[in-house]
Amino acid sequence: MPGRVRLRATFGDPGRYGFVTSRCARPDTMERMDSRLRIAPADLDDLGWIAGIYHHYVRTSPATFEVEPRTDATWRAWFDGFGGRGRYRLLVARDGERVLGYASSSTYRPRAAYASSVETSVYIDAGSTGHGVGSGLLGALLIELATEDVHRACAGIALPNPASVRLHEEFGYRHVGTFTEQGRKFGRYWDVAWFERAFPDRSAEEAS
Ligand SMILES: CC(C)(COP(=O)(O)OP(=O)(O)OC[C@H]1O[C@@H](n2cnc3c(N)ncnc32)[C@H](O)[C@@H]1OP(=O)(O)O)[C@@H](O)C(=O)NCCC(=O)NCCS
C-alpha cells in the first residue's frame, strides 16, 4: 500500500506494551493520526469507544456476523470476561484519550478441552484502518498470549477481507480451511476462512 503510514509496535518500557511508533510517515496522515499510539490493556472507560468501533461493523460489514448492536449490559458482561492475566485479554490502541482499535482473545468453544485454544479478534476504527494499528494490536496480543497456557489461536474471517487475511498471515496464522456460506447477513451468504496460529506446547510446564 504505497504512501500509507506504517507503524511498528515496540514493546519495551514503559510497561509491557510500550508504544506504537511511526516508521515511515506520510505527513498529512501523521498530523491526523499522531505518531505515538499507546497499546495497553483496556479499561472500563474504553468500552464506549470499543462499542462505537464495533457497532459500525455490525451495521455495515460482514466482518462480524452480529446484526444488532449490543446492549450496555451485554458489553459489560463481555468486558468482565477479560483479565490482566490469563488466556482472555482485551487490548486497546489509544491516541491520547481516543481509542483507535482493540484486539481480544476469547473462549473458542465452551467445552473444557478447548480451553487451550482461544479465538482472537481485531477491530480498528473505520477511519484509522490501513495504518498499522491492527498489526500493533495483534502483535501485542500474541506476545501476551505466548506467556499463557494457550496452544492455538483461531480466527474466522468472513470473505472477502484481504486486510484481515494479510494481517493474520503476517503474524503466523495459517489458513486451515474455508466454510462455505457459513453466515447470512445483508440478504446473502458469506464464506468464512478459518486461520490458526500455533504456540509452543506448555502442557508439561502447566502440569508441573
Ligand atoms: C482487518 C483490520 C483489523 C486490519 O487492521 P489494519 O490496522 O487496517 O491493518 P494494518 O494497517 O496493520 O495492515 C496489516 C496488513 O494488511 C495489509 N492491508 C491493510 N489494508 C489492506 C487492504 N485493504 N487490502 C489488502 N491488504 C491490506 C497491510 O499492507 C499489512 O500487510 P503488510 O504488513 O504486509 O504491509 C482492520 O482493517 C479492520 O478493523 N477492518 C474491519 C473489521 C475487520 O475486518 N476485522 C477483522 C475481522 S476477522
Q: Is residue 159 part of a domain?
A: no
Residue 197 in any domain: the answer is no
Which residue, judged by its Cα, is nearest atom 7 of ligand 1? 134
User: Looking at ligand 1, which atom is closest to the CA of residue 53?
Assistant: 39
Q: If you take atom 23 of ligand 1, which residue's CA is the nearest one?
A: 163
Cα(203) to centroid of ligand 1, in Å? 33
Helix intervals (H) in the chain: 27-33, 47-60, 72-79, 133-145, 162-170, 203-207
Average per-residue pLDDT for the chain: 86
Say yes or no to pLDDT of 35 above 70: no
Rounded Cα distance between 42 and 85, Å, is 12
Cα–ligand 1 centroid distance for 207 (angstroms)? 38
Q: Give the Å distance between the CA of 163 and the centre of ligand 1.
A: 3
Q: What is the pLDDT of residues 117-142, one digit of tens each?
A: 999 999 999 999 998 899 999 999 99
Asked if residue 206 is part of any domain, the answer here is: no
In a domain, 190, yes or no: no
Q: Whole domain around residue 109: which residue ranges?
A: 6-154
pLDDT value at residue 12: 38
| Domain harbouring 120, CATH code | 3.40.630.30
Asked if the structure places residue 166 within a domain, the reply is no
Return the closest-CA partner of residue 141 out of 167, 116, 122. Answer: 122
For 13-42, b/e burial (b = at least 16 CB within 10 A) is: eeebbbbbebeebeeeeeeebeeebbbebb
- Give, for ligand 1, the residue of 129, 133, 141 to mutate: max count of ligand atoms closer than 8 Å to Cβ: 129
pLDDT band of residue 205 (cuts 50, 70, 90) is confident
Asked if residue 160 is part of any domain, the answer here is no
Distance 108 CA to ligand 1 centre (A): 22
Q: What pLDDT, on the 0 to 100 scale, is given for residue 21?
A: 45
Task: Count Cβ atoms within 10 A of the Cβ of residue 197 and give its class: 0-12 exposed, 13-18 middle, 19 or more buried.
Answer: buried
Q: Which residue has the cell 506467556?
A: 147
Ligand 1 center to 205 CA (angstroms): 35
Residues of the chain with pLDDT > 70: what percent?
81
Neighbours of 161 (CB within 10 A): 17
Q: Is residue 125 included in any domain, yes or no?
A: yes
Number of structural domains in the chain: 1
Closest ligand 1 atom, CA of 155?
Answer: 48
Where is pLDDT greater, at 107 or 16? 107
* Cβ < 6 A, ligand 1 pocket: 1, 57, 63, 122-124, 129-135, 155, 157, 161-164, 166-167, 170
Residue 78 lies in a domain: yes
